[in-house]
Copies of this chain bind each other. A is one copy, B any other.
Amino acid sequence: MKRSEISKNVVRRLPRYLRKLDELIKLNVERVSSNELGAQMGLTPSQIRQDFSNFGEFGQQGYGYNIKALRSEIASILGMDKGFSVILVGVGNIGHTLIDNFNFARFGFRLLGAFDIRKDLVGSPIQGCPAPIMGVETQEEFISRHNVDIAILSVPREKAQAATDRLVKAGIKAIWNFTDTTINVGDSDIKVEDIYFSDSLLALSYLLLGDND
């Protein structure tokens, strides 16, 4: 099956499988059946077998999955072995949070640099980045020279579209959007993934309400 034909729900489950397998590897577990995996993840065994079957043959009937092999297959399906390059656009609280807490290298990404429009930030060192914060006027040339794959967009909401337009013009391939607002990449085929905090809080609120309300 073509990658683009795989359903979004399956793709969304792959990182969850990865997290669970990493947990099992930490516990020195070597094999796991779809029954066990399902029980631990709240999925049916047939759902799990069906998910994996989209990408080929990963297990042998009756023997379960070799966890390390399965983990490596999933990492590869997710592009973790491609070394995608990343820049941070907008060094505010959320940018700092990501750089402080998120281990890009662990997931196979290379964080190349951080940009900000505020001149007083330019030149300051930033943890996890190979270079100090750069001015936004050097961004386009940087993206082109390093053939940057992904921009983390973490500018204030009202600057989101202007910053997006600059990234589109510079030839970025993907935008990870933390601005909590919709961005428009025109008719380019730039991939966009939005983080909407409200979606997650409202899902929690739905659960909290329960059946009796």
Contacts and interface: CB of A to CB of B under 8 A. Distances in A.
A198 B4 contact: no
A16 B199 contact: yes
Interface residues of A, number: 59
Of the listed residues A100, A150, A198, the one surrounded by the most CB atoms of chain B closer than 10 A to its CB is A198
Interface stretch (A30-38, A64-72, A89-97): A89-97
Nearest to A84: B205
Contacts of A198: 15, 19, 102, 107
Interface in A13-45: 14-16, 18-19, 23
A196 B97 contact: no
Nearest to A205: B79
A97 B155 CA distance: 12
6 smallest A-B Cβ distances: which pairs? A193-B204, A93-B97, A15-B199, A79-B205, A79-B209, A191-B207
A182 interface: yes
